A and B are shown apart, each in its own frame.
Chain A
């Protein structure tokens, strides 16, 4: 029998609200007020998110972000810095007691990423899991994922690139060795790909999200019921956004 999941399509929000809503969903799943949840969303304005353990001054060109009106947010998950622009972002929240939960981080990534791999296959893209937390297609990264566990729940979120603008990305992110910048940009261009690159045509946010929805449903045997975030979740997301993700104390903690 398929696992009952809630499906949220929450549209485009700023970085702080997006991260606040993921945390609010985690809280409401943990308190069993809502079923396990799969969410698709986008970022407006574009944003940089950095991993929990990253130093913001080491990773982000804050002045360039200010100039280009790009938000900067620290995630509650580990992993690397991400430029959120032309992409579909997902989050999935599962209690650790759920049959789809796995004790090890790596096993969880492998299982949950199978939904993305199946979704990409529905768009005609053959992709595979690349440990620790990536998905590659044609030998190049198309999806990065990050996971945490809190309140006896797993939260995994990640991105699927619709198209990629490496030059803009590197104007916003810092490169460890400035002298290697040109070479590094070429290397990253060779390592990163997108749906547009692979298919030779643009696929929109909605179509990609639909394929991913089907992919998760099929790979993880989910029965998805589309819903809106509860009023309590929306209020909590706004509060967490204001008190945590927008606060300099959180953003600059490392």
Chain B
């Protein structure tokens, strides 16, 4: 199933998250694809796009920590986005994650 959700948690830029995940929708759902749009900064930008692709296969409940790890692994500097930002926004549509 496809999910799109928008939010601006405290300390984060306005983020639009587009996900395709397996059903049923819960913390065990597996991410098939992920795209994050917004006015955040991630340098190098191209590396962030690789992170989006690499996060396919992640369980929804682990997205925040895996996002932070992938960003660190790729040595990406980020401002206005983090695993916490992403998870806080997803919690508005996926309970218990």
Contacts and interface: CB of A to CB of B under 8 A. Distances in A.
B39 A254 contact: no
Chain A interface mostly = loop
B45 interface: yes
B38 A105 contact: no
12 contacts: A53-B36, A53-B42, A78-B39, A78-B41, A78-B45, A132-B13, A133-B41, A146-B41, A148-B43, A148-B45, A149-B43, A254-B37
Interface of B: 6, 13-14, 16, 35-45, 48, 77, 79-80
Nearest to A103: B77
Contacts, number: 56
Contact of A53 (B6, B38, B44, B77): B38
A105 B38 CA distance: 17
B80 A132 contact: yes
Contacts of B45: 52-53, 76, 78, 148
Nearest to A144: B39
Contacts of B16: 55, 58
A165 to B, nearest CB: 21
A105 B41 contact: yes
Given A53-B38, A53-B42, A132-B41, 17 more contacts: A52-B45, A53-B48, A54-B38, A55-B16, A58-B16, A78-B40, A78-B41, A78-B42, A79-B39, A80-B39, A106-B79, A132-B79, A147-B41, A148-B43, A149-B44, A176-B6, A254-B35
B55 to A, nearest CB: 15
A105 B48 CA distance: 15
Interface in A67-124: 76-81, 104-106
Closest 8 interchain pairs by CB? A80-B39, A78-B41, A55-B37, A132-B79, A52-B45, A51-B39, A149-B43, A105-B77
Contacts of A66: none
A191 interface: no
A132 B45 CA distance: 17
A150 interface: yes
A82 B5 CA distance: 23
